[in-house]
Amino acid sequence: MTKSYFIKFLFPLLLVSCTGSIRTDEVDFTQGFTDGNSKVWVVSKTISPDGAITMNESLKSDVYIFYQSGACLLTNFQKLSRGNGQHGKLKFDHERHNVMMLFPNEKRDFEFEFVDENKLVLYPLEGSDFTHSIELIPFPELN
């Protein structure tokens, strides 16, 4: 068998056989939102549709708690200490990087981006009742 025969016929066959049966799985971002149980995210920055940025004060910030079960809680630190807030459901479209939060009187529909494991940005989608982008960080470690 000559080298040119290998290059012309066997090499393409080898490449096709290596890539022809690759199984692809859908990426599930639920773990990133919940850390496998529940995760507390704090709003660090809010961006209005006109581009104005609001840096939130620590104790007045909104808090999102995402649960592995698909439930979520929207509250702030003062209400959280009393156990109050809006309870809702999460719905993911992992393929499109979308998350929808359904609260009793509001639908928040976002495209999400994990900047890194400590920063999650939510961009509002058309039809969402909430029109601001928000930057979330995990609840900070207290020293």
pLDDT tens for each residue of 1-30: 555 554 555 555 555 555 555 655 667 788
* 65 within some domain: yes
* 99 within some domain: yes
Separation between Cα atoms, residue 112 and residue 110, nearest integer Å? 6
Number of domains observed in the structure of the chain = 1
Domain ranges, residue 73: 27-138
H or E element, residue 134: strand 133-138
* 12 within some domain: no
* 33 within some domain: yes
Residue 22: CB atoms within 10 Å: 6
Please tell me which of 6-20, 45-59, 127-141 the model is most confident about, judged by mean pLDDT: 127-141
Q: What is the CATH number of the domain that holds 130?
A: 2.40.128.540
| pLDDT tens, residue by residue, 29-47 | 888 888 888 999 999 999 9
Contact 110, 95 (CB under 8 A): no
* 126 within some domain: yes
* 20 within some domain: no
pTM over 0.85: no
Q: Say if residue 67's pLDDT is above 90.
A: yes
* 132 within some domain: yes
